[in-house]
């Protein structure tokens, strides 16, 4: 979507000097064409050209029309997303069926729904690109140009509209109406998706007046919002965030703690471990060097945090982890035991303190059996307060449970039984498995009742290049298409994706390395 949006931006970027009021017939034609196009979703290129024509006028009527178009396009985006979620819910049980259990009508419905999902994803991408064009158009105007949109969008029932308004307001966060829109967008009861849109836009905003609102979101109840806020204060070097970051660190989940410590290290130049007490002591001894950032920090005590789990030697810090396991036919082939500590091929996660190596795995035999034993070992290490789930995939995609489950003993026993029954067959539909994984995570969701992001870490294991799910005539999928999907699903980079490649073909290895690198994860050879 970002690539499409940037291409379309070239069609609409105009300098203020290029504004020239259109005469009566020109304006009438431009307005009619604009309203006709924006009455329906799709046709991103046609809409970009229509925006360019309206933008040439530069008068108040033009900005009012562009405001109306933004509201309409956000509505298309929201409704398309809702239809996509519904289609995916209907598709999931079908792609999870074994071929022997599928009736001809099931197969027909599966392919119909797959076509519908593909079409809806294309429409959603086009609408998102059009919204991007409109936001950039308002960014090129002045305060009077932005005012009609911000007035229409304040308190709008669609979160997509409020998110677009927040992005426009962040262009000039000191403008009176923009300041009000941003305050509402970052309010404690606002939809988390709107907060994230505002935070990401403020990462590039001028001035410093917005910093207090961003610092406040470090203590947001939604962990995904906390991650983005921590990243923004680190990137923009917001020194006043230091005491709040330390306070948040005391009770942070592993994923949040990782980002918080990264921000603290960037702000201070220190390499202190990921615990609040040593950071608090350091801050009390050194706060004078950072100016008057508030009252002295009260003593803090960190809550117990789970130790890293290990999977094929990959050390992962998470308490909301989703395992996605390849059960394609090639997983039945033999594989010797993996090395005890594979060398990471991408970014690492967690703090920089070396961790003792675990005893080397004693597993050997079919790749699926090694994977099962590694998975069981990883689950055993999860503390009871953690949440987990498992997806297995070949040409179909099956989830262990419909939602994330607590890592208590009873649920682990149920998972072990499910893992035991995994059997290799079919092809390698990674795109479908990742789509379900990010849907479970809540990413890219347009549902009215947004549940938040339920997964902070995905671990993908596979031994082959990705294919579609048209088994027994499966064809290889273009890895670039899957990477583009994940960029859209994980645009805010809140979910880390680690990859384990087993006997992978060259195309599969390169794809999994890119997938991990683009999503803050690590690739290892299994």
Position 301 confidence tier, pLDDT thresholds 50, 70, 90: low
Residue (of 433, 489, 492, 420) closest to 459 by Cα position: 433
- Specify the 3-state DSSP secondary structure of 446: coil
Q: What is the pLDDT of residues 388-404, one digit of tens each?
A: 999 999 999 999 999 99
Looking at the fold, whether 90 and 151 belong to one and the same domain comes out as yes
Q: What is the domain range of residue 233?
A: 202-305
Looking at the fold, whether 354 and 284 belong to one and the same domain comes out as no
Q: What is the model's pTM?
A: 0.81
Q: What is the pLDDT of residues 333-355, one digit of tens each?
A: 887 554 444 444 444 444 444 34
Looking at the fold, whether 358 and 295 belong to one and the same domain comes out as no
pLDDT of res. 445? 63
Identify which of 191-200, 268-277, 472-481 has the greatest average pLDDT: 191-200
Q: What mean pLDDT, rounded, does the chain reach? A: 87
Residue 193 lies in a domain: no
Looking at the fold, whether 232 and 371 belong to one and the same domain comes out as no
Q: What's the Cα-to-Cα distance from 426 to each of 332, 462, 475, rounded to whole Å?
A: 11, 13, 12
- Specify the 3-state DSSP secondary structure of 381: helix
Name the H helices within 190-241: 192-202, 211-216, 223-235
Q: What is the pLDDT of residues 129-154, one digit of tens each?
A: 999 999 999 999 999 999 999 999 99
Looking at the fold, whether 281 and 377 belong to one and the same domain comes out as no
Residue (of 136, 127, 131, 7) closest to 79 by Cα position: 127
Sign of CA dihedral 180, 182, 183, 185: positive
- Specify the 3-state DSSP secondary structure of 388: strand
Looking at the fold, whether 37 and 15 belong to one and the same domain comes out as yes
Secondary structure of 500-518 as H, E, C letters: EECCCCHHHHHHHHHHHHH
Q: What is the pLDDT of residues 28-76, one digit of tens each?
A: 999 999 999 999 999 999 999 999 999 999 899 999 999 999 999 999 9
Q: Cα(144)–Cα(412) distance, rounded to whole angstroms?
A: 59
Q: 90-95, long-range: CB within 8 Å, 24+ apart, which pairs? A: 91/117, 92/397, 92/399, 92/436, 95/396, 95/397, 95/429, 95/432, 95/469
Residue 288 CB neighbours (<10 A): 8
Looking at the fold, whether 337 and 430 belong to one and the same domain comes out as yes
Number of domains present in the structure of the chain = 3
Looking at the fold, whether 237 and 223 belong to one and the same domain comes out as yes
Q: What is the pLDDT of residues 190-223, one digit of tens each?
A: 999 999 999 999 999 999 999 999 999 999 999 9
Looking at the fold, whether 361 and 453 belong to one and the same domain comes out as yes
Phi/psi for 62 (5° steps) reads: -65, -45
86 pLDDT above the threshold of 80: yes
9 pLDDT above the threshold of 60: no
Residue 467 CB neighbours (<10 A): 21
């Amino acid at each position: 979507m970002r690539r499409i949006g940037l291409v379309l931006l070239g069609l609409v970027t105009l300098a203020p000097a290029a504004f020239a009021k259109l005469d009566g017939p020109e304006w009438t034609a431009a307005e009619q064409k604009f309203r006709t196009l924006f009455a329906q979703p799709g046709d991103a290129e046609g809409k970009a050209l229509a925006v360019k024509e309206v933008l040439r006028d530069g008068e108040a009527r033009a900005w009012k029309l562009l405001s109306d178009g933004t509201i309409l396009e956000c509505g298309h985006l929201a409704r398309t997303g809702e239809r996509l979620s519904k289609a995916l819910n209907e598709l999931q049980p079908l792609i999870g069926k074994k071929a022997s259990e599928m009736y001809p009508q099931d197969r027909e419905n599966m392919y119909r729904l797959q076509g519908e999902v593909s079409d809806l994803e294309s429409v959603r991408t086009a609408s998102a690109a059009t919204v991007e064009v409109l936001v950039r158009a308002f960014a090129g105007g002045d305060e009077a140009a932005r005012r009609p949109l911000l007035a229409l969008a304040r308190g709008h029932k669609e979160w997509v509209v409020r998110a677009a308004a927040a992005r426009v307001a962040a262009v000039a966060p000191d403008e009176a109406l923009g300041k009000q829109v941003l305050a509402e967008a970052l309010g404690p009861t606002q939809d988390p998706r709107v907060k994230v849109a505002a935070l990401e836009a403020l990462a590039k905003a001028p001035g410093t007046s917005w910093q207090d609102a961003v610092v406040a979101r470090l203590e947001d109840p939604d962990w995904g919002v906390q991650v983005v806020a921590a990243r923004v204060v680190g990137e923009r070097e917001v020194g006043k965030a230091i005491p709040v970051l330390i306070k948040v660190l005391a009770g942070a989940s592993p994923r949040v703690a990782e980002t918080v410590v990264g921000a603290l290290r960037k702000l201070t130049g220190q390499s202190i471990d990921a615990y609040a007490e040593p950071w608090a002591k350091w801050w009390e001894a050194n706060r004078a060097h950072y100016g008057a950032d508030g009252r002295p920090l009260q003593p803090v005590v960190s809550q117990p945090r789970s130790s890293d789990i290990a999977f094929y030697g990959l050390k992962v810090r998470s308490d909301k982890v989703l395992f996605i396991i390849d059960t394609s036919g090639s997983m039945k082939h033999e594989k010797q035991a993996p090395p005890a500590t594979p060398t990471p091929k991408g970014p690492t996660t967690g703090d920089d303190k070396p961790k003792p190596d675990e005893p080397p795995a004693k597993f050997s035999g079919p790749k699926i059996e090694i994977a099962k034993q590694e998975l069981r070992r990883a689950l055993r290490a999860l503390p009871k307060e953690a949440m987990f789930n498992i997806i297995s995939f070949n040409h179909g995609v099956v989830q262990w449970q419909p939602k994330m489950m607590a890592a208590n003993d009873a649920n682990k026993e149920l998972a072990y039984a499910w893992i035991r029954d995994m059997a290799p067959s079919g092809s390698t539909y990674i795109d479908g498995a990742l789509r379900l994984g990010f849907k479970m995570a809540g990413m890219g969701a347009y549902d009215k009742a947004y549940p938040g992001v339920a997964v902070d870490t995905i671990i993908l294991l596979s031994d082959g290049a990705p294919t579609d799910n048209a088994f027994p005539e499966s064809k290889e999928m273009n890895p670039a298409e899957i990477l583009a999907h994940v960029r859209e699903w994980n645009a805010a980079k809140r979910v880390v994706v680690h990859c384990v490649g087993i006997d992978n073909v060259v195309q599969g290895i390169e794809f999994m390395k890119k997938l991990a690198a683009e999503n803050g994860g690590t690739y290892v050879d299994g």
